[in-house]
Amino acid sequence: MPKKTFIVISVSAGVLLLASWAFSLVLLAEINGLKSGSGVMESRMEDISRAYEEGRDARAAAEKDAYAATARAEKLALDMEALKAGMAAMAEEIAALRQSPPATRKSAGADAVTIAETEPTALAASPDGAGETAEPVEAPEPIGTGALKAGDPLRLTVTAAELKNVYGYQFELRYDKSKFKYEGGLKSLLPDLSVIFARETDAYVLVGCTATGEGVGASGADKEICQISFTALADGVAPGDISLTGVNTVGADTKYTEGVGGWSFHS
């Protein structure tokens, strides 16, 4: 083979070898780039999956909160209707008290609406400016916290651990009607909250009370709220068979608070 031809072939082979090596480097770089891109894609897919799960959990929580808010709104609407009915009954009772002689005034029974009793009880002034005084209703004597016998009276005193500017309140006393009979005998023990009423249902007595006019609400610690009377219908029942639930308050600043804690009763 001529020397010149050998040199040409050798140079061409070297060029091809260098080209192959350069192509291999480029190809390797592309492969590494693809691997890096694949890792980024996997990371992004994980982020998208995590975001989807978080969004799903947030939607579930929002739906739960919306359901709870709807339930609270429905209960509040029912409570407001009961309060309106109680206030209407209160207006009728006050009108009747103004028109009747003092000697004929008695407790109005299970759905009574009364003015808080002091010694003596002062009623709102009549249109002609003359004040009137109602005869206090005699309450049954407290009998302690032990077991009762059928026919025993039970006088409960409702208390609150703390009041902050309370202008009105409501709560439920739940009891078994085969064990107790609601007797009325409502009496507010807060001078500033003088209008009190009760509404009896199949499962509980709803008690509500409010102040009248403008001014501050009731405040303080370990306050006695009101008194209410029952009669035992069976032997062996006890005050603990009655439960106090659903305490809601409204402040003098019109702030409404549901599920207030720290309220209880004793006999």
Has this prediction a pTM greater than 0.85? no
Angle at 198 between CA 194 and CA 199, to 5 degrees: 150
CB 195 within 8 A of CB 208: no
Per-residue pLDDT averaged across 232-239, rounded? 95
| Whole-number pLDDT of residue 118 | 34
Angle at 143 between CA 142 and CA 146, to 5 degrees: 135
Mean pLDDT over the full length of the chain: 76
Give the bridge partners for 121, in sequence order: 134
Q: For residue 80, what pLDDT band results from cuts at 50, 70 and 90?
A: low
CATH class entry, domain 113-266: mainly beta
Q: For residue 157, what pLDDT band results from cuts at 50, 70 and 90?
A: very high
Count Cα atoms within 13 angstroms, Cβ side, for 128.
Answer: 4
* Domain spans, the chain: 113-266
Torsions phi, psi of 241, nearest 5?
A: -75, -10
CB 184 within 8 A of CB 109: yes
**What amino acid occupies position 106?**
K
In angstroms, what CA-CA distances link 228 with 72, 163, 264? 27, 20, 13
Compute the Cα dihedral for 266, 240, 186, 165 and give only its sign: positive
| Whole-number pLDDT of residue 141 | 40
| Whole-number pLDDT of residue 122 | 31
Least confident of 32-46, 134-148, 192-206, 239-253: 134-148
Q: For residue 69, what pLDDT band results from cuts at 50, 70 and 90?
A: confident
